[in-house]
Amino acid sequence: MDRRLEVNRSNWNERTPVHAASDFYDVGAFKAGHITLTDIERREVGDVSGKTLLHLQCHFGQDTMSWSRLGALATGVDFSEAAIDLARSLNDELGLDTRFIWSNIYDLPDALDEQFDIVFTSYGVLTWLPDLDGWAEVIAKYLKPGGTFYIVEFHPFADVFERSDSGDMIPTYAYLPNELFFDGNEPSYAGSRVIESPTYEWQHSLGEIVTALVTAGLRIEFLHEFPFNSYPLHPAIEQGDDGWWRFTKHNESYPQMFSIRATK
């Protein structure tokens, strides 16, 4: 495994128990039957009853098991052994039939040899991948002919901005592809405990994402951009009654999430 991915795997092993105990993931509600998928991905993926579904970068599997609850024959993959161990434990406790595989995306062909009706991934996944061409090739490998790939993700344009003292969002960070290193010793996005281990992250432009999928042989059915977010990425956004987060000023000027559906 790439050394940078090993560094990140250690970080996600450290994060997993913190996330599992957090209000953000609300494992208690999930155990009680909550479906963690939003109306966007449920609507845009469509009916999954009886279909095989591969969930890449599934963390500890709540979305994967939610697809199972909606009728899919679901398989989740993640490179964190702590996350996969927790996912398998939850699956057994809840009596679901979701399968979980411990592997990073690029090595998955060594662990799995079949194809699926749907390949799915969502929210905060691309920043952990150094090679989008390799990612797209794995997606194409695991799709049946005529199968559907779907991603809903934070828009890379939203990562460019930082809030100024006046409250306006100003361009601060690079939009075009680049690699970042973080020393660690910061809280994760879920839970308050400090995560000590460092991480590598990668910025990917929308053009890079689309080009990787097309180069791998997929046909783009749609690319949607949304002026709201599933997560408070910036301090200058507030949650609405519909559950989505929006900027308090100039909200309609900023794409904050995107979704792509493509077919093989």
Distance CA 8, CA 3 (A): 9
- The residues spanned by each domain of the chain are 3-263
pLDDT of residue 151: 98
* Lookup result for tokens 């490998």: 141
pLDDT in the model for residue 165: 64
Residue 150 forms beta bridges with which residues? 120, 261
Instruction: Enter the tokens of residue 61.
Output: 């599997």
The pTM assigned to this predicted structure is: 0.95
How would you classify the pairing of strands 257-263 and 143-154?
A: antiparallel
Q: How far is CA 176 from CA 93, 203, 208, 258, in A?
A: 44, 7, 9, 17
What is the residue type of 102?
Answer: W
Residue 191 is predicted with a pLDDT of 84
Q: 177 near 208, Cβ under 8 Å?
A: yes
- CATH H superfamily, domain 3-263: Vaccinia Virus protein VP39 (3.40.50.150)
Per-residue pLDDT of the chain (264 residues; tens, 9 = 90+): 899 999 999 999 999 999 999 999 999 999 999 999 999 999 999 999 999 999 999 999 999 999 999 999 999 999 999 999 999 999 999 999 999 999 999 999 999 999 999 999 999 999 999 999 999 999 999 999 999 999 999 999 988 877 666 666 778 888 999 999 999 899 999 988 999 999 999 999 999 999 999 999 999 999 999 999 998 877 778 999 999 999 887 778 789 999 999 999
C-alpha 65/C-alpha 31 separation (Å) is 10
Give the integer Cα–Cα distance in Å for 249 and 218.
37
